[in-house]
């Protein structure tokens, strides 16, 4: 069975905008993980919350393109937040957005949350293990 991964919003922005930091090609790390997913190593969970966040930074067409590729190969698992999930996130942490991502990842059965923000997600490691895209 393929490993389930929940990718946070920054993962998609790294890929879609081909971002780099001072030393590393962040977009290339994201691309490599997506390639491995399409080649049957993983399934990616995406939430309506990630899509809402992405729409603030990236054109809708770019989002649809990446999701289409994953859907076409049956590598995409959709999950939707509920009022109960939002309430849990508020109670769990002051960092409500990351708490909600962790709750949704757990709810969908993700083994890992793919993120660059390991420090921010460390407080939710009892729900899902945070890991860098290049470390999986």
Per-residue tens of pLDDT for the chain, all 136 residues: 789 999 999 999 999 988 888 888 888 999 999 999 988 899 999 999 999 999 999 999 999 998 998 899 999 999 999 999 999 999 999 999 999 999 999 999 999 999 999 999 999 999 999 999 999 9
Domain extents in the chain: 3-131
Are 8 and 113 within 8 A, CB to CB? yes
Are 133 and 30 within 8 A, CB to CB? yes
pTM of the model: 0.92
Q: 3-131: which CATH number, 1.20.1730.10, 3.30.365.10, 3.40.50.1970, 3.40.50.1010?
A: 3.40.50.1010
Quote the tokens at residue 30: 């994201």
* Distance in angstroms (rounded) separating the CA atoms of residues 25 and 68: 24
Question: Which letter, b or e, does each residue of 78-108 get, where b requires 16 or more Cβ atoms within 10 Å of its Cβ?
Answer: ebebeeebeebbeebbebeebbbbbbbbbbb
pLDDT at residue 95 in the model? 93
């Amino acid at each position: 069975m393929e490993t389930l991964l929940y990718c946070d919003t920054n993962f998609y922005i790294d890929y879609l905008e081909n971002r780099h930091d001072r030393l590393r090609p962040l977009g290339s790390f994201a691309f490599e993980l997506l390639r491995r997913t399409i080649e049957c190593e993983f399934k990616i969970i995406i939430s309506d919350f990630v899509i809402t966040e992405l729409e603030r930074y990236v054109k809708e067409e770019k989002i649809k393109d990446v999701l289409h590729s994953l859907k076409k190969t049956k590598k995409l698992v959709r999950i939707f937040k509920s009022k109960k999930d939002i309430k849990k996130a508020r109670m769990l942490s002051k960092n409500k957005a990351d708490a909600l991502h962790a709750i949704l990842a757990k709810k969908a059965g993700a083994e890992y949350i793919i993120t660059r923000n390991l420090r921010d997600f460390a407080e939710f490691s009892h729900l899902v293990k945070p890991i860098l895209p290049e470390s999986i």
